[in-house]
Chain A
Amino acid sequence: MNRREALWSLGALAAGTTTVLAGKSSAAELSGFPAQTAQSADHLTTPVRRGGAMQVLTNETDRKTVTAVFDRLIPADDNGPSASDAGCVDFLDAQLAGDYGSGKALYLQGPLRPENEEMLMGSPQFLTSPRERYETGLKALEAYAQANDNAAFHALSPDRIDEILSGLEAGEIDLGDDVNGQAFFELMLQNAREGYLADPIYGGNKDMAGWKMIGFPGARYDYRPYIDRHNEDLGLTTVSLIPSN
């Protein structure tokens, strides 16, 4: 190989080539700075409308079951509204309807060796998506209530639901062969609290109640005026990415 005699001797590429990338996603050859880029489609969040038609939680019993669970995980009290009043069920439905629900990012190829994987990873692993896990899990919770209490899960008393949730959390309640009760509890707990604390654009955290509860001022851009003000209540107005509905 010989060192090039002169810079830019190639001639194959004209400077200033314009490449158009308009939010599409496909392999591209970029020569020159892309001059007509647009925001990548998946960077722009579509706001979730609260109280609209469900996309995934279309079964009424399932919806009532998950609402009953969420409202015990995050009940209404002096620190803010309940999970469902804050939109966390709307949040969950939208999440399950999208890439998170379908497990798009997960590695779901077999073989699954459940005991070996749980031993190595410290928690049970699944080949099913979050959406599938809710479908089987919510039905298992309803079946458990019917079998043990002769009642619908959502009709149980708050204390009884707490008892069941505590049992699931501790791994002491068997929901059958298809559902790992403890792992399903963790999934619901994670999603309920995500909804309560994510930007309202995702359907939960209505009126930014979750953020106000802890004193997080939200989607702000510039704290330079505040970095030197230590141990003060800064009195900042809470803001979200867009005003919520």
Chain B
Amino acid sequence: MTIERPKADVVIVGLGWAGSVMAEELTRAGLNVVAIERGAWRDTSTDFPPAVDPDELKWHTRRSMLQPMSVETTTFRNNSGQTAAPVRNWNAYQFGWNVGGAGTHWAGMSWRFTPWDFQVATQTAERYGSAKLESLRAEGLHLQDWGVTYEDMEPYYDRFERIAGTSGKAGNIKGQKFEGGNVFEGPRSREYPTPALKDSAWMAKYRETVNGMGYHPFTIPAGNLSQAYVNPLGVTMGPCTYCGFCDFHGCGNFSKSSPQACILPVLMRRPNFTVLTETEVLHGVKHEDGKTLKGVNFVTREGEEGFQEADIVVFTAYQMDNVRLMLLSQVGTQYDPETQTGTIGRNYNYQTCASVSGFFPGAKMNPFVGAGALGVQIDDFNGDNFDHTGLNFIGGAGIMGYSTDGRPIAKMNGLRPGSKRWGSEWKEAYARDYQEAGNIFVQGTSQSTRDAYLSLDPTYKDRHGQPLLRTTFDWNRNDRDMAAYMTAKAKEIMIEAGAEGISTDNQAAESWNPYKQHSSHTIGGAVMGADRSTSALNPYLQSWDCHNLFVVGASAFPNNGGYNPTVTVGALAVRAAQAIHEKYVNNPAPLVEG
């Protein structure tokens, strides 16, 4: 050890969305906080100005803002009978690698989960009978409640939306339904902070089509602001310009909800906050009694090792790294699918997705007019919003017509079926199809199973010699059947819209692999719950095994909703932070008896 730092009240590992929310709450409460971030300092005006941002090759194709695999990757296999291999090249995962984390390059789709998503076990039994629940569990599904309900989460959702400035239109305020919003959403306490974004040509077409089919379209709530806004921290944001360079890019316009735009301007000015950049936490270090952590070991970019002592340790890294840090810190017990014991790595899940594309002869969709979260969705088939009686699956999907971007490299294979990918035929096809394409995305729920889990890889190491995290995952029967059903529904919409050259891509139709997927939403592995035998964390995201460790991220979701995870991560971060400064600091002990 070469670097011994002064003790902090709290050390935060990873300064993305969860870490920034956590640090803001805790420093405002007077605690001395040190954040340790593997990536570099990056800020809006210097690093993402409009002269740098609209560059597809750098940011999207080469993914220059993402954590490279050479820094850390994962290994992967479909089942325990296989030998996992490292994920060597760019793939589905989009880990952040800068101050701001993945919150800097995300698209901005800003969802609350449905009330059902938090209580899949209880609500499935209530609505369809306990026999249904038991038969799914007998198949290997790990159906369990989160230990919090939507009603519990509502104030924290509200707080995070206010910080982020989310644009949208409410469909349910305190039980009153509003046409044009999402009438299926859980009751909100108030309207969104800023109004909904406008429709692109494709969104207008999609909205009209699904309206005619009797569905309930609404504009996707977005971390792309529709107008100037001042958030509760006093930070001013600007209106989104629909530039179409959003996901994978920074935002030079202070329009995308991100730690840079929403939190860091305030947080960095607080004298009781420090961030160590380009400094990577290796693992937590336990006290002699093994019951709590005394701090974390880290290594700087220059290779100097050090120790940060703290009374409270918070892991707010990406989902994968939260699980890996718990395993490397030897907190809790590795889950074993054979014996069904251990909770770390248990309940790994993903996002069950499909897409449908079609073409509209003579249309001028102008796809370059876009924003990361720009789209119209129906939730008529999401979660448990429809009656599953007689169906052989639970869960569902949001079905969206989206207008995120018109990036030419990314779209170069988005052609009518049968088109060649090279030669004059490709040029002719691309010149014809670029303006005529409409795309529907089906973003579905994901249930955990006995056989899907995370563990440390026995062979492959990171650049510091620590084991990589190993994913064992494939689609389960329930989610495959759900995806097939939803893909058919989405195809019906495309047919109704009058498209030609329709093609579908149901990703759950074949074995999962990281190079084929269209979603970065990797979920679970260190989940929250009221039962310590099936969860790593209690409902305040406090480790059952180590009471001064809190672990915040999508790693905490026992199952995934048919939505992007970020706002739920943000809301859980607010909730955990308030539990720390309102309860834990006054009585450092388990917040829940378990």
Please report A residues at the B interface, Cβ cutoff 8 Å: 1-4, 6-10, 12-15, 21, 25-34, 37-40, 42-45, 72-75, 77, 79-80, 100, 104-109, 111, 113, 116-117, 120-123, 125-126, 162, 165, 189, 192-194, 197-199, 201-202, 210-211, 213-224, 226-234, 241
Contact = CB atoms under 8 A, between A and B. Distances in A.
B9 A1 contact: yes
Contacts of A217: 368
Interface string B576-594: 0000010001101000000
Interface string B12-48: 0000000000000000001110000000111100111
Contact of B369 (A80, A116, A226): A226
Contact of A107 (B73, B365, B426): B73
27 contacts: A1-B9, A4-B9, A8-B271, A28-B277, A31-B271, A31-B274, A40-B46, A43-B47, A75-B424, A77-B427, A79-B427, A105-B70, A113-B83, A125-B85, A193-B422, A194-B409, A214-B431, A216-B368, A216-B434, A220-B54, A222-B243, A227-B200, A228-B198, A230-B199, A230-B204, A234-B366, A241-B52
Contacts of B515: 121-123
B83 to A, nearest CB: 6
Contact of B56 (A74, A199, A231): A199
Contacts of B6: 12
B265 interface: yes
B272 interface: yes
Contacts of A227: 198-200, 242, 369
B279 interface: yes
Interface string B359-371: 0000111101100
Contacts of A73: 422-423
Nearest to B280: A27
B235 interface: no
B278 to A, nearest CB: 4
Nearest to B35: A30
B485 interface: no
A31 B239 CA distance: 30
Given A125-B85, A214-B431, A227-B198, A202 B277 contact: no
Interface stretch (B74-82, B394-402, B556-564): B74-82
B196 to A, nearest CB: 12
B477 interface: no
B430 A214 contact: yes
B30 A27 contact: no
Contacts, number: 261
B279 A27 contact: yes
B409 A198 contact: yes
Contacts of B276: 27-30
A3 B9 CA distance: 9
A189 B409 CA distance: 12
B291 interface: no
B438 to A, nearest CB: 12
A113 B201 contact: no
Given A27-B300, A32-B268, A230-B200, A79 B69 contact: no
Interface in B290-310: 300-302, 304
Contact of B242 (A37, A224, A232): A224
Given A1-B588, A220-B368, 8 more contacts: A1-B311, A4-B30, A107-B70, A120-B77, A121-B513, A226-B366, A227-B242, A232-B364
A47 B85 CA distance: 38
Given A100-B62, A231-B364, A189 B422 contact: yes
A113 B85 CA distance: 8
A3 B586 contact: yes
B464 interface: no
Interface stretch (B87-95, B146-154, B155-163, B528-536): B87-95
B117 to A, nearest CB: 30
A79 B428 contact: yes
Given A39-B46, A40-B40, A193-B412, A223 B242 contact: yes
Contacts of B279: 27
B211 interface: no
A1, A6, A217 — most chain B CB neighbours (10 Å): A1
B273 interface: yes
Contacts of A162: 423
Nearest to A79: B427
Given A74-B427, A230-B204, A197 B86 contact: no
A198 B430 CA distance: 15
Interface string B424-459: 101110110011000000000000000000000001
B140 interface: no
B421 A189 contact: yes
Interface in B372-426: 406, 408-409, 412, 421-424, 426
Nearest to A21: B41
B591 to A, nearest CB: 14
A214 to B, nearest CB: 4
Contact of A105 (B63, B204, B366): B63
B61 interface: yes
B268 A33 contact: yes
A3 B514 CA distance: 46
Contacts of B406: 216
B169 to A, nearest CB: 16
B74 to A, nearest CB: 9
A36 to B, nearest CB: 10
Contacts of A2: 585
